[in-house]
Structure 1
Amino acid sequence: MTDIIPAFRGEQTFMPTSFLEIVELPDGRIELRRAEDEGSLVILDFSEDAKVFLQGQHVEVAKAMLSVGVQMAGRLAEGEPEKEDGPRVLH
C-alpha cells in the first residue's frame, strides 16, 4: 500500500517540490518517506493490541496521523506559531 501526499507549498518549507509517500512495509510498520527516496522520515509501529483495538484500521489511522503531522510541519515552516495557552501534556 502506498499513498502519495503532496508536500507543503511555499518558499520557506523544507521540502518545497517533493512528494511524500505513506508506505506499509512488509513487516506491517507504516513509513513516511520522500517519493524519490528510500530513506524513512517517520516510521509508525502499531502493537498487535493496538491493531486489534483499531479493528484492523491501523493503516487509515496512520495515514490520518501522518497527514496531520505534515500539515503542522508546513504551518510551522511557514512561520505560523503554535498556540500554547497552557502547559503542554504529551501522552
Structure 2
Amino acid sequence: MPTSFLEIVELPDGRIILRRAEDEEALVTLDFSSDAKAFLQGHHLEVAKAMLNVGVQMAGRLAEGEVDHEEGPRVLH
C-alpha cells in the first residue's frame, strides 16, 4: 500500500472505518454490536483506535518482512 495519511472516521450509522485521507473508500471497517458498546460504556472509539493502530503496525511489520509466516492452521484468539 502506498504511503499516505490515514484517518479513522465514525460514520453516521455507527460503523468506524479506516481510510486514506484523500479517499472515501474504507480500508477497514469496525462495527461494534450494541452489547459491545454497552460493555465498553461509551469507550468504543478508543478501543477502535487501539485496534486499528495495532493493525497498521502489524501490516507495516509484515510488509517489511519482520514477521515469520507460520505454516499450517492458525488459531486466532
Q: Same fold (TM over 0.5)?
A: yes
1:58 is matched with which residue?
A: 44
Q: What corresponds to 2:2 in structure 1?
A: 15
Moved over 3 A (4+): none
- The structure that is helix-richer by fraction is 2
Aligned counterpart for 1:35 among listed residues 6, 12, 21: 21
The TM-score normalised by the length of structure 1 is: 0.76
DSSP 3-state at the match of 1:43: strand
Q: Give the number of the structure with larger relative contact order, counting CA–CA contacts within 8 Å between residues 6 or more apart.
A: 1
Q: State the distance in 2 between where 1:31 and 1:73 align.
A: 16
Question: Structure 1 residue 45 and structure 2 residue 31: aligned?
Answer: yes
Partner of 2:61: 75
Task: Name the TM-score, length of structure 2 as normaliser.
Answer: 0.88
- Cα deviation for residue 63 of structure 1 reads 0.4
Tell me the distance in 1 between the aligned counterparts of 2:45 and 2:76.
Answer: 22
For structure 1, the residue ranges without an aligned partner over 5 or more in a row are 1-13
| Cα RMSD for the two superposed structures | 1.5
Distance apart, 1:83 and its partner CA: 7.3
Where does the alignment leave 5 or more consecutive residues of structure 2 unmatched?
none
CA apart distance, 1:15: 2.2
Percent identity of paired positions between Structure 1 and Structure 2? 80
